[in-house]
Structure 1
Amino acid sequence: MEPAAEILVDSPDVVYSPETIEARYEYRTTRVSREGGVLRVQPRATRFTFRTARQVPRLGVMLVGWGGNNGSTLTAAVLANRLRLTWPTRTGRKEANYYGSLTQAGTVNLGLDENGREVFVPFSALLPMVAPNDLVFDVGANPKGH
């Protein structure tokens, strides 16, 4: 998979500005009602506007109960990847990775290119998002002051 430098959606429903990406979307569904022995189906549409900031902010994570399974696993995964940790195993050297992370290891099929081949891009390339290695961890203060 070739890394995408940038993805731009060429659509009248997507507007790019230096600060934001704004997308209009129409969610379609149906309403079904029963009238005697007849099912009446009525199409429905709800319009949404999504606005995403293009500048990725710093993101802090405050973990309350850091010693639990979720907090310690998240912290260890980010630190192992940030520090590029490796370790020996019986089957060879292993290195930290984000396999299993939807945003870091997942891909999305954008469609077909001019040659009829499917084009896949990293999930993380779809919208501006914080990279996990840039997370800042802090211990939340105990509300009782302890």
Structure 2
Amino acid sequence: MTSDDTHARTLQLLESNSYFGMKPTQVKLLKQEKVACLADNDARLAVDPKNKYRIQTKPHGHGDVHSLLYSSGLLKEWKDAGLRWVLFFQDTNGLLFKAIPAALGVSATKEYHVNSLSVPRKAKEAIGGITRLTHADGTFCYLSSY
């Protein structure tokens, strides 16, 4: 997944390195949109320091991958090809590779549709997080922030 900030350089890196041994058709670049940046926890919009009438933007983030897979047609392509498993990993968590086989085994055994792994996170670290939101009635859901 790329953005306007990284797409051209990512493509150039892949091409100049012959896609690191893969066929170009094996690599799919999905470009995410940019969204307004928030300046603080009160959700104030971040203003460009050089132009107070321009809002700063940033790539939407890793959480965008699900809608991009759908809108690009890549999910249908994978389903039509008979793929059963898809694994997403963030570039900010290299230790994940040690846990992937166990997570896939648990997902298969328990017939999970979705399974997530995470690591402890400190405030302001440039890594994603998973948050559990609990409603007054005791029900809950998980939200990811990448």
TM over 0.5: no
Q: Normalising by the residue count of structure 2, what TM-score does the alignment of the two structures yield?
A: 0.25
Say which structure is richer in strand.
1
Q: Which structure is higher in RCO with an 8 Å CA cutoff and minimum separation 6?
A: 1
Say which structure is richer in helix.
2
